[in-house]
Structure formats: structure tokens, C-alpha cells
């Protein structure tokens, strides 16, 4: 059973790798945002409670988030495994997830931590451009449009999101490291954590994951 947590800083390619890993193992990719939206859409009692906070622009409290995670991991599609992305974010959440795993007999057995040098993260994020019209992503070095500043797909104008700059990224990275260092130690002590080199090609990363997750 592949019960996986995927961790990684902003710009590490977590979303892309999560989709590839979940598709390869045919397990659901569960991000906290998607989980909230699904629970709200399905009108579950916890979904309604979460929506009360979200609609007011407030953070959803830990106990509600943890309840939603338990609800989601108990679904039949997680019987053969799951990939959690964006949870846990704190030590308290990690401890709660350990308890949930025991209660529903679906404990986390692999924690994958994508590691990328800060200089590369800065280059990746500060070079990102997005289409104003359709939201298609581009990059000034690695995914250039055919015509500078113009979306290949719809002809819309490309722009740089205001958070995609070096100064903001460094603040986000400081916050990320502060909150995840205790988590990394927690999972390393449990002998569940493996680092992945996020600067490698996607296929190489997937091959490495496959080697690590072999039973």
C-alpha cells in the first residue's frame, strides 16, 4: 500500500510530481484545497463548517482540517493508497495524522521531500509568466512562448504575478523552512522520510520514487 506524503518548497515542482506519482500508482492525489472544495460541494457537515470560515476569509481551524482529512482518507478510493499534498503543515497535524492512520488502518508509510537549491527556486519562480486570459503557464527560460509576451494557446497577454519575485519568494521560503523543519525531523525519526532531488528531470524523479517505494 502506498500511503504517501509529498513535501517541498514553493517552486519545487510539487504539484507536477504529485500528479505524476498519483497517476503512476493509480492512487488519489489529495491536496488540502481540493479536499475543502469537495467536502463543501458534497455538503458534508465538516464541509459546511469549513465553508463558514473560508467564506469569511478566515483560516480553517486545525480540528476541522484534521476531521476533513480523516473523512477523505476513509473513502473507498484510498483503500490502495493515497498521496497527501499540503498536509500536514505543522507538528500537531502530523501527530494527528498518525492517530488517524491507526484508527482507519491507513497509516502513512512514505514521506517524500523534494529538495531544490534556493538559487534554482528563485530562477524558476521569478521567470514564471501566466496568460491573463486562459491562465496557461510559461517561463522566460524553460517554456518560452513563440512570440514574446503572447500566449501560444489563446493570444492573451502574459504577465508576472506579483508574488513571483525574488523578495517575496525568500520570505515564503523562510516561512516554509521554519514550519517544515520540525516535520522533517519528525518523519526522519520515524524512518519514513526520503529526500528527492527536485532539480532532476521528471522521469528521473519518478524512477527514484519507484525505487524508494518498492515493497
Measured distance CA(112)–CA(210) in Å, rounded? 11
128 catalytic? Reply is: yes
Annotated catalytic residue, options 2, 72, 106, 128: 128
Q: How confident is the model at residue 215, as a pLDDT? A: 64
Per-residue pLDDT reduced to its tens digit, 61-74:
989 999 999 999 99
The three-state DSSP-derived secondary structure of 116-177 is: CCHHHHHHHHHCEEEECCCCCEEECCCECCCECCECCCCCCEEECCCCCCHHHHHHHHHHHH
Per-residue pLDDT reduced to its tens digit, 80-105:
999 999 899 889 999 999 999 999 99
20 catalytic? Reply is: no
Annotated catalytic residue, options 37, 172, 188, 200: 172
pTM across the whole model: 0.85
Amino acid at each position: 500500500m502506498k500511503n504517501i506524503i509529498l513535501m517541498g518548497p514553493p517552486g519545487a515542482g510539487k504539484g507536477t510530481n504529485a500528479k505524476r506519482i498519483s497517476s503512476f500508482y493509480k492512487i488519489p492525489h489529495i491536496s488540502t484545497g481540493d479536499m475543502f472544495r469537495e467536502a463543501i460541494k458534497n455538503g458534508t457537515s465538516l464541509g459546511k463548517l469549513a465553508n463558514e470560515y473560508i467564506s469569511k476569509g478566515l483560516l480553517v481551524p486545525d480540528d476541522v482540517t484534521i476531521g476533513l482529512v480523516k473523512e477523505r482518507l476513509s473513502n473507498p478510493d484510498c483503500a490502495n493508497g493515497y498521496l497527501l499534498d499540503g498536509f500536514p503543515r505543522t507538528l500537531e497535524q502530523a501527530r494527528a495524522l498518525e492517530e488517524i492512520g491507526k484508527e482507519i488502518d491507513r497509516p502513512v508509510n512514505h514521506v517524500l521531500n523534494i529538495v531544490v537549491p534556493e538559487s534554482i527556486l528563485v530562477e524558476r519562480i521569478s521567470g514564471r509568466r501566466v496568460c491573463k486570459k486562459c491562465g496557461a503557464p510559461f517561463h522566460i527560460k524553460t517554456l518560452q512562448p513563440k512570440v514574446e509576451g503572447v500566449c501560444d494557446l489563446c493570444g492573451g497577454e502574459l504577465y508576472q504575478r506579483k508574488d513571483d519575485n525574488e523578495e517575496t519568494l525568500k520570505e515564503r521560503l523562510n516561512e516554509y523552512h521554519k514550519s517544515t523543519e520540525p516535520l522533517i525531523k519528525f518523519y526522519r525519526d520515524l524512518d519514513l522520510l526520503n529526500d528527492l532531488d527536485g532539480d532532476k528531470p521528471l522521469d528521473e524523479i519518478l524512477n527514484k520514487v519507484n525505487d524508494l517505494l518498492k515493497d
